[in-house]
Structure 1
Amino acid sequence: MSDAPPQPIRVLVCDDQALVRTGYVTIFSAQPDMDVVGEAENGHEAVRAARRLRPDVVVMDVRMPLLDGIQATRQLAGPDTAHAPKVLVVTTFNVDSYVYDALRAGASGFLLKDSPPAELVNGIRTVARGEALLAPAVTRRLIGHFAGHVRPADTTSPVRQNIVDTLTPRELEVFRLIAEGLSNAEIATAMSITPETVKTYVSRILAKLHLRDRVQAVVLAHKTDLAP
């Protein structure tokens, strides 16, 4: 007997611009593996809809009335939330100062609002698989920008030392490359190992440091001054 087909990815679209929401819904609904279960035009509606509809992925705008996307993300995907959906934050270059806060709030990744449709669709699939969406080309620029605004931790801080003590030298090397925004394939090339080995290292690092995904790893690396 053949396996049952996978369930479609349940998507909630949150944006205060009706035209943008309509565009997203049209694009996502056309995908055979996606099901748009609802829309919201502000942060309060997004939180209520997400708790009622239990989507797999929430596509979240940053600037919205009543409750912005960062606060809504924190309520939906913060560290103390149960059954948290994956949140994919969309932003534009003129509001990219919010991205770091969004990642700290629990977002699984971000994309630029003018990303091509295929990139948005692949972004949803990526975060739905439990992977963080850190597009290397964009991420390096944004992480570099935000790193300059993050107060580095004392290099003798207990948190930093715990990371160094917990991870093997090889895992620490992978951890630092993750913080640079490198993909598994790029890390494999840099370290002359296979992508499968990198994937194993990443899983071990996340488990040892009790991190949900690569985004949290990036944030932690910068907060503890372990990023390159």
Structure 2
Amino acid sequence: MLLFTLAARVGFGQEEYFKIEDKEKKTGVTRAEAAREIERPETGSGKFADKLRLGGSFGLRLGSYTNINLSPMAGVALTDNFVMGLGATYMYVRSSYYIPTSNDHFYGARAFARYNFLPMIHLHAEHEMMNVSFYNHGYGKYQFVDKEFPRRWIHSPMLGIGYTQPLEGKLVRGIHATLLYNFNYNNHINPSINYDPRFFNPSMSQRNISPYASPIVFRVTIL
């Protein structure tokens, strides 16, 4: 029995050796790289646990407008280069634009897709929904009489390109630095403002209720 076990192990080891040698000849990769590829099956053919990606992003902006952003994310690798998933977002916001200074909590969710068309370059698309509060100026069509800081859901479709630094983790396969454009940013208008300059001419910071400072959004994500 012992001899049979040893023989089986030797046979298995030889089979793995020839697999590695064959992959090395066909692809031109080094023997060490070929061995790693043999040990780790391709994403498209593995179990669900092999396709799962976990991570998220963290953002921080300080000053007269403070924004602390925490966004956990989970995705599934449909192929080695294409990941789709969902995420949740929480923001603590502190603004000194108003007297007295306001503090609030924004929250929401996002659906995203990321495709690496080159090993270290990716395209990223997402749709984010965020529940935000805004200052009631009382100059517009909607007066929100009983609320100084009413709330509203806003939608942000975003598209961008970024750089991926690959990692060797099981659930985290890369660090992604992405530059996105928010196509709905200029529509996130405070509904309590009358835009007739004869009566009121608010600054951009008072006019736009988006939690982002501009339509350009930069993110660093691990996933």
Q: Would the TM-score normalized by the shorter structure come out above 0.5? A: no
What is the TM-score with the length of structure 1 in the denominator? 0.26
Structure with bigger helix share is 1
Structure with bigger strand share is 2
Q: Which protein shows a greater Rg?
A: 2
